[in-house]
């Protein structure tokens, strides 16, 4: 994962609540490998009509590429746990999503892949949605160390879990860190399975 300090680029709005991961990436595209890229499939059925032409009424189509900062309504990323939804957003060009709330698994998947999920108060998000509907592509900056996002000439502070912030700023992945504690995992296992031999599945037959 690349370290993240600051981001800048256009912001745009998707004024919808409950944007589920089936909408972010329809299930029929899920067989692709990560290396093949998912950007063209992001929001596919909202973005393109049946002949593959860009739909004029899809707000993000006002921009030539995906916005760096995407603003959406409540419960963004609900539904299937598919991490491909995060890959699709990143490959489409989105680096940060702002919403009043996010679905649990989506938020966790985002953190693992360097997609920032920024929760702002509902009233703030409503104002941003209205503003960006008028002016899609308004320049935006995210300053991770300072926990600040700027859209146009407005600045908003945001909260982030300190552990996640540290990992994002340094581009660290969980796995290598955990493996350094392999001894403690082994010690846990010895006492845990010792007390509960029945935890291991019985070999059938």
Which residues of the shown chain bind another protein in the complex (CB under 8 A)? Answer: 16, 18, 20, 22-23, 26-28, 30-31, 33-34, 45, 50, 74-75, 78-84, 86, 101, 103-105, 108-109, 112-113, 161-163, 173-175, 178-179, 181-182, 184-185, 188-189, 192, 196-205
Quote the least distance from Cβ 195 to another protein, whole Å: 9
**Residue 155 beta carbon to another protein: minimum distance, rounded to whole angstroms:** 27
The separation between CA 161 and the C-alpha centre of its own chain, rounded to angstroms, equals 15
Nearer to another protein among residue 6 and residue 188 (C-beta): 188
Angle at which helix 162-170 crosses helix 104-113, to 10 degrees, equals: 30
Residue nearer to another protein on the CB measure, 9 or 111: 111
Distance CA 165, CA 144 (A): 8
- Residue 71 has phi, psi (to 5 degrees) of -110, 130
User: In terms of Cα–Cα distance, which of 85, 89, 99, 124 is closest to 18?
Assistant: 99
Task: Give the nearer residue to another protein in terms of CB position, either 31 or 153.
Answer: 31
How far apart are CB 9 and another protein at their closest, in Å?
24
Closer Cβ to another protein, 115 or 140, answer by number: 115
Cβ-based nearer residue to another protein, 88 or 140: 88
- Answer whether 81's CB lies under 8 Å from 109's CB: yes
CB of 69 to another protein, least distance (A): 22
Work out the burial of residue 189: count CB atoms within 10 Å of its CB; fewer than 13 is exposed, 13-18 middle, 19 or more buried.
Answer: exposed
Minimum Å gap between C-beta 179 and another protein is 7
Comparison of 64 and 162: residue with beta carbon closer to another protein: 162
Q: Write the CB contacts of 59 (distance below 8 Å, at least 6 apart in sequence).
A: 12, 13, 14, 15, 133, 136
Nearest distance, CB of residue 34 and another protein, angstroms: 6
Angle at which helices 104-113 and 84-92 pack, to 10 degrees? 60
CA distance 139 to 47: 22
């Amino acid at each position: 994962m690349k370290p993240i300090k600051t981001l800048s680029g256009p912001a745009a709005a998707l004024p919808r609540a409950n944007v589920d991961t089936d909408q972010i990436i329809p299930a029929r595209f899920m067989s692709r490998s990560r290396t093949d890229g998912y950007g063209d499939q992001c929001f596919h059925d909202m973005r393109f009509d049946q002949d593959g032409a860009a739909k004029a009424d899809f707000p993000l189509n006002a921009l030539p590429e995906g916005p760096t900062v995407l603003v959406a309504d409540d419960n963004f990323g609900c539904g299937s746990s598919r991490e491909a939804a995060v890959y699709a957003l990143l490959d489409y060009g989105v680096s940060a999503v702002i919403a009043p709330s996010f679905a649990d698994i989506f938020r966790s998947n985002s953190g693992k892949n360097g997609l920032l999920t920024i929760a702002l108060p509902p009233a703030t998000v409503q104002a941003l949605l209205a503003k960006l509907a008028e002016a899609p592509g308004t320049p935006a900056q995210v300053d991770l160390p300072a926990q600040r996002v700027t859209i146009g000439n407005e600045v908003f502070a945001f909260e982030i879990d300190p552990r996640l912030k540290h990992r994002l700023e340094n581009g660290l992945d969980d796995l290598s860190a955990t493996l350094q504690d392999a001894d403690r995992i082994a010690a846990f296992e010895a006492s845990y399975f010792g007390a509960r031999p029945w935890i291991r599945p019985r070999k059938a037959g």
